Structure formats: structure tokens, C-alpha cells
Amino acid sequence: MSLPQDRRRRQLKTARLDIIAELYKRGYSLRKITEEVKRRLNIPKLAVSTTYNDVQTLLKEWRESRIENIDQALQLELERIDDTTAELWEQWDKSKEEAQRPPPHEADESKGREVRASKPTPFQKAEPTSEDSETLPTSPKFDSNSSNDGNSSACTLPKRDKSKEKSPCIVRRAK
């Protein structure tokens, strides 16, 4: 076969495959596809077996293309999982460091005030301060340290949550 005839034959096959692919995707039968290809390309003879072989060629190409696309999609998804895993490990390490680091007690220079943690962590000792206690007046008749002259003394207690406690302090009676 000569070069121009071979080129013409390849062009005709490419055109035929384009038409067959379009109609096959729409669900046409092989007979209807064959008739439509003959009509569009003005081909007097085209066997249904040729159309069948063309469909098989297209399916093979699509499978290979799909496999390549699946490999690319799989690779992309694996990269995303790797990135997410790395970020999760970084966050895990950061959270462990924050749990092990004691809260700052030094003065905050930008605001000029002391920074304190609201609750001690398991790694830190709680230290009572003057802010943590309050002074309550007591009745002289129950205070062993006071004289019965009417002057009231006070007892110093740790600060408490008034909603949870019923009595403010336990005071011993004088004997």
C-alpha cells in the first residue's frame, strides 16, 4: 500500500472511532452505530464486525487510560494522606510540649501585669498566695484566741466556691 493510501486509511479509521465512541457512550446498538457511521462518512460497505472490533479497540484504550488516571489519582491521594499524617504528628508533638511546659509566672512586659495559670497542671505545684485566701470575721464567743471583751477577731481561710460549700469555716469553741 502506498503512503497516501495508508494515511487516508488511518484518517478514516480515526474518524470512524470518533463517531463510534460518541454513539457507543450514548448506548446505541452495534447495528445502529454501523448504519450511522456509513451515513456520516459516506461509506458504502461497513460490516458490523468491523464496528465491533472498533468498539473493542476503544474499550482497550479507555481501560489503559483509566488505569493511568487511577494510578495518578491514587498517587495524589497517597500524597494527601502523607501530608495530613505529617501535620497530625506535628500537632501531637506540639500538644505534648505544651502539656509538659509549666505555665508562665513572669510578668508580661507588653501589658505590665503578672500572668498566672488558672489551675495548676499535674506537672506543677499549687502555691497559695494572698489572692487565694480571704479573711472572714468571726464571733468572739466561738473564737478561742479572743477575749470576751467584744472585740472580734478574724480567721483566715482558703478561698472557696460558695456555691459548693455550706459552712464558711470550722471554729472551735473556747473551753
Q: What are phi and psi of 136, to 5 degrees?
A: -115, 140
Cα 128 versus chain centre, distance: 41
- Taking only the tens place, the pLDDT of each residue in 89-121 is 999 999 988 878 766 665 455 555 555 555 555
Distances (CA, A) of 59 to 12, 64, 159, 165, 170: 19, 9, 80, 80, 90
- Taking only the tens place, the pLDDT of each residue in 3-53 is 888 999 999 999 999 999 999 999 999 999 999 999 999 999 999 999 999
Residue carrying C-alpha cell 488558672: 118
For residue 42, give the amino acid letter. Answer: N
Task: For residue 34, give the C-alpha cell.
Answer: 454501523
Task: For residue 134, give the C-alpha cell.
Answer: 480571704
